[in-house]
């Protein structure tokens, strides 16, 4: 299996959440599934992980490369025919850099290159996974198709997801939501979780469900 991971920077407040991303990578690697990291290029507003203040700008691609240990490709190079699964780890980068949910709420937009990757995968009838707040990106792109996903428990984000046409399924951090009709698999991670062990269990259970469904 070949999985394309779309990263959004490095760090839970302004990029990809490291513990979620690494939990997903480990769940894939334990099955000998190959993953390739992708990220958009362009600047984003950096948020301090100490005091929450914005502190200048950095490049999404450069920051995401830190997680990928340099093995990363620009999102423009994603070709759906080369991969079996698309995955979006969580972190506020999904809401700030891949989309504008953090700033615009229900009026959010999704980067065209990320939207293309999602729609190409969806129309190719290939599975898509997402964690934490990243399902909001799927809600915006796939909501019109009536996709079911999880953001944990009822919250502002889940209300917006439903406004966008998605259906919300409540989950605990170790659980997952499998929309087998649309081939979308999501887990809430740190939307409701508090421990890294819960985050890994959620990622592991989500990937295991997908593995079972693929036979």
Q: Which of 37, 132, 171, 177 is catalytic?
A: 132
Helical segments of the chain, H only? 18-29, 60-67, 93-96, 101-104, 112-123, 135-142, 156-163, 196-214
CA-to-CA dists, residue 9 to 40, 62, 71, 78, 82, angstroms:
9, 8, 14, 17, 23
Helix (H) or strand (E) holding 45: strand 43-47
Q: What is the mean pLDDT of residues 1-13?
A: 94
Q: What is the pLDDT of residues 101-123, one digit of tens each?
A: 999 999 999 999 999 999 999 99
Instruction: Using DSSP bridges, classify how beta strands 43-47 and 54-59 pair: parallel, antiparallel or unpaired.
Output: antiparallel
Q: Known catalytic residue: 155?
A: no
**What span, in angstroms and rounded, lies between the C-alpha atoms of 3 and 127?**
10
Domain limits of the chain?
A: 2-214
37-51, 84-98, 172-186: range with lowest mean pLDDT: 37-51
* Residue range 2-214, CATH number: 3.40.50.880
Distance of CA 179 to the CA centre of its chain: 15
Output the six-digit token pair for 109.
Answer: 């937009």
Average model confidence (pLDDT) across the chain: 96
Entry pTM: 0.96
Q: Which residues contact 57 (CB under 8 A, 6 or more apart)?
A: 43, 44, 45, 46
Provide the pLDDT for residue 56.
81
Provide the pLDDT for residue 188.
98
């Amino acid at each position: 299996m070949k999985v394309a991971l779309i990263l959004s920077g490095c760090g839970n407040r302004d990029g990809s959440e490291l513990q979620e991303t690494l939990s997903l990578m480990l769940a894939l690697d334990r099955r000998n599934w190959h993953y390739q990291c992708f990220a958009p290029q362009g600047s984003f507003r950096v948020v301090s992980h100490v005091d929450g203040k914005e502190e200048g700008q950095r490049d999404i691609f450069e920051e995401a490369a830190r997680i990928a240990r340099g093995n990363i490709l620009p999102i423009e190079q994603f070709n759906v025919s080369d991969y079996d699964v698309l995955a979006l780890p969580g972190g506020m980068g999904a809401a700030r850099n891949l989309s504008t949910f953090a700033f615009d709420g229900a009026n959010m937009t999704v980067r065209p290159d990320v939207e293309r990757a999602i729609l190409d995968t969806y129309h190719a009838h290939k599975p898509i996974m997402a964690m934490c707040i990243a399902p909001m990106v799927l809600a915006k792109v796939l909501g019109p198709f009536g996709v079911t996903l999880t953001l944990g428990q009822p919250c502002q984000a889940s209300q917006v997801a439903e406004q966008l046409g998605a259906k919300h399924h409540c989950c605990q951090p170790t659980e997952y939501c499998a929309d087998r009709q649309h081939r979308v698999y999501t887990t809430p991670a740190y939307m409701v979780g508090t421990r890294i062990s819960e985050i890994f269990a959620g990622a592991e259970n989500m990937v295991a469900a997908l593995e079972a469904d693929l036979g």
